Amino acid sequence: MEIDRKSFLASLGGRATLNRMSDEAKADALEDQMLFELSQASASARSGEGGHEFPTAAEVDEQVETLPYRRGVGSLFVNPRGNVKKLPPMPATPTLVDFFALRFAGTANHVLQSANLAKRNGMSEEIILACLLHDTVQAMIKVDHGWWGAQLYEPYVPEKTAFAIRYHQALRFYEDKENGYEYPDLYRRMFGVDYKPEPYIEATYQMVRKHKWYIYPRQVTINDLYAFEPNVNPQLEEFTDIIGRHFKQPKEGLGFDNSPVAHMWRSIMRPDSPL
């Protein structure tokens, strides 16, 4: 598997953030990327050979007892390929940028690519910010990450941004060809080709579809993507203006401001704590 190490590492968040990542964090991010590309390559090879390209929902369900962890667990809390590594310490008053550099390595590349695409497509700053943040809570938990993510960010971002983050998860399951959104193959692979979303997802979709703000979470899904573009290396520094204008950084640091979600930031900061 050929991967351009230098440009991939540069894409993780710019020189300043890269310098603060441990070697282990860089190696993990690189390994995640290679595994992702390998799985993409083998899936397309299988389809080319006439094997079935995607599992059924029943086949996905059968995999449950083949894993020592559950698929909804946050990426900081489990390493599917061996032991977890020591995490670098965080500053006393951590900022969003510190979390990107020190805890969000698993999703940083994906969300930077998404924010970059949103910027290229002329989205508003609130939606570019939503794209930049939309999957980062997956460090803590993956199941229902739209709701968890919106909750994590709600005290600090514009209402439209939180709305877009909350509902992008449900809208991902529903096509909107008029707005340029098609159901992704990645979901056929993750959930099974015949998967039907849970009733609460369907009800949420129906509610959001009629909402006056429908287009905001839809814009996140349109600018969401699941491929590393080798020659596109968005840097976190390109978004610090938008973060500065729209993210209310608490002076005590995220996790220490007594907000209703401070404990969530501390859980991301200290996932090794046994209680």
The residues of the shown chain that bind Fe ion, judged by CB under 5 A, are 135, 224
3-state secondary structure of 181: strand
- The residue (of 94 and 217) whose beta carbon lies closer to Fe ion is 217
- The residue (of 110 and 253) whose beta carbon lies closer to Fe ion is 110
Question: Backbone phi, then psi, for 30, in 5-degree steps?
Answer: -65, -40
Burial of residue 224 (CB within 10 Å: 0-12, 13-18, 19+) is: buried
Q: In whole angstroms, how close is the CB of 251 to Fe ion at the nearest point? A: 30
Q: In whole angstroms, how close is the CB of 75 to Fe ion at the nearest point? A: 13
- The residue (of 154 and 224) whose beta carbon lies closer to Fe ion is 224
Q: In whole angstroms, how close is the CB of 220 to Fe ion at the nearest point? A: 8
DSSP structure string for 79-142: -TTS---PPPP--SS--HHHHHHHT-HHHHHHHHHHHHHHHHTT--HHHHHHHHHTTGGGGTB-
Contact 214, 222 (CB under 8 A): no
- What's the CA gap between 267 and 275, in Å, rounded? 10
- The residue (of 58 and 215) whose beta carbon lies closer to Fe ion is 215
- The residue (of 90 and 111) whose beta carbon lies closer to Fe ion is 111
Q: In whole angstroms, how close is the CB of 86 to Fe ion at the nearest point? A: 28
Q: Which two tokens stand for residue 29?
A: 């991010």
Q: In whole angstroms, how close is the CB of 185 to Fe ion at the nearest point? A: 14
- The residue (of 90 and 140) whose beta carbon lies closer to Fe ion is 140
Q: In whole angstroms, how close is the CB of 144 to Fe ion at the nearest point? A: 11
Contact 9, 101 (CB under 8 A): no
